[in-house]
Amino acid sequence: MNCLENSERFFINGQWVSPSAQDQKDIINPATEEPCGRIALAHAQDVNRAVEAAHAAFEAWSAITRAERLEILGRIPSIYQRRAEEMSQAISLEMGAPITLARESQTPAGLAHIEETLDALRHYQFEECEDGILITHEPIGVAGLITPWNWPMNQIACKVMPALAAGCTVVLKPSEIAPLSAIIFTEILHEAGVPAGVYNMVNGDGPVAGEALARHPLVNVMSFTGSTQAGIAVAQAAAPTVKRVLQELGGKSANIIFPDTDFADAVERGAQECFGNSGQSCDAPTRMLVPYDLMEKTMDIAAKVANSLRVGDPTDSMTELGPVVSASQFNRIQALIEKGTAQGAILAAGGGGRPEGLTQGYYVRPTVFGHVTSDMVIAQEEIFGPVLSIMGYADEDDAIRLANSTPYGLAAYVQSGSMERARRVARKLRAGTVTLNGAAWTVKAPFGGYGLSGNGRECSRFGIAEFLETKAIVGYGADSKKQ
């Protein structure tokens, strides 16, 4: 794989450069548990070098016109498409996504954000004048971006592209667990002619490289996606310099299914969406809320979905679920499955251990728990694996109460044959995104959460806005009085 040529270097000021130290980390293929590459790990001095390059490039990049920015960034999609298969192979290798999922969802998600950001930039209103006051939205400065391993291109594209579109310069630290796709993305931006220093990339871990980036006084905004615990650490590191911090964190999304919908179809769809990407999606509908008297029926339908899924080798085009990303993730999921059983949840499918016939790799059995109550750990903690918790409710108000009974608020889902009811319930759910009746995913909607799911919004014009400062120039208009 070509990207391995640059895996032990960083991209700073338009060049691939050697690290300041020799610390390295193996990239582990989660399907084999064996190394498939190696990256250099950045120290604080490497991060400082990247930030200083971004700071030096900011004045020129922020001053160019919208048309000039569009011309440069507009070269990215065609290069990305040309390297799409290589990107898909890298994502499948580094984080275990089935190759079909990588080709049909993981890689295209990045392209969708790239193209949507370009369209949003074409129409973004950076200035408006009212009552003699010019309101102008200006790039905030250097953006530090930390991205996760579960949807690597989705998250890299929906941070990097809006930041660059806004006129910011960037230092990206991708996940050290799944860095190969970020290296390819970096090569794409370099080929597109993004000016030196405007985009920089260092590999490294959170406690060293991530903290150095968040603490750096020349970084004006931090955008982080990952666990709530890590997000808190980023915010604490950023606090002394009073920089803006954007966080897209954990989730425990409720999927309310009302009996007036096509119930069996809604349960099947909900289970499939929960298990997709091996359950490693922050907005996965992991809590399925159904009427008490339909609990057994729901468990049966969801169990059939779980038992039908083909779990195995990510390189096989027929595989539907690959491994989870790492040994630590595998062990955490196993512990939570055990906790669910110990606390009295009823196991309808799956359970502990690997699926039958798989003795190597971080494979988890698609698992369904029924009769889950809100005081159970599996109802409150983000599991980030293919585990579905089915909870019973008494009526509409009870369903809303249960949906809002966790500290998270990233996403929620409502299935109802009555659009009036679906809309009414959606307005009462404390979540950043509420999807009704299986509506298609879109990059046009703002994405982000309430509560412990973070703050700020990503995607389209909403993503661009997060990287802008608002300035009021009073007396700008011809009829304004001087003060």
Alpha-helix runs per DSSP H in 174-309: 180-192, 211-215, 228-238, 263-275, 295-308
Active site residue 320: no
- DSSP-derived letter for residue 277 is G
Active site residue 86: no
Structure tokens at 393: 């409710």
Pairing state between β 387-393 and 367-370: parallel
d(CA 102, CA 116): 20
Give every CB contact of residue 207 below 8 A, 6+ residues apart in sequence: none
3-state secondary structure of 335: helix
Find the catalytic residue in 158, 168, 274, 282. Answer: 282
3-state secondary structure of 148: coil
Find the catalytic residue in 116, 187, 211, 248. Answer: 248
Phi-psi region of 24 (alpha: psi -120 to 50; beta: other; left: phi over 0): beta
Listed as own residue / partner, the contacts of 392-400 with beta carbons closer than 8 Å and 24 or more positions apart are: 392/289, 392/290, 392/291, 392/292, 392/295, 393/256, 393/289, 393/290, 393/291, 393/292, 394/291, 394/292, 396/258, 396/421, 396/425, 399/256, 399/258, 399/289, 399/425, 400/256, 400/425, 400/428, 400/429
Phi, psi at residue 36, to the nearest 5°?
Answer: -125, 5
Q: Using CB atoms within 10 Å of the CB of residue 100, give its burial: 0 to 12 exposed, 13 to 18 middle, 19+ buried.
A: middle
d(CA 271, CA 267): 6
Question: CA of 96: how far to CAs of 5, 171, 277, 282, 288, in Å?
Answer: 21, 26, 9, 17, 26
* 442: amino acid identity, one letter: T
Q: What angle do CA 145, 151, 153 make, to 5 degrees?
A: 65
d(CA 151, CA 134): 39
- Catalytic residue IDs: 248, 282
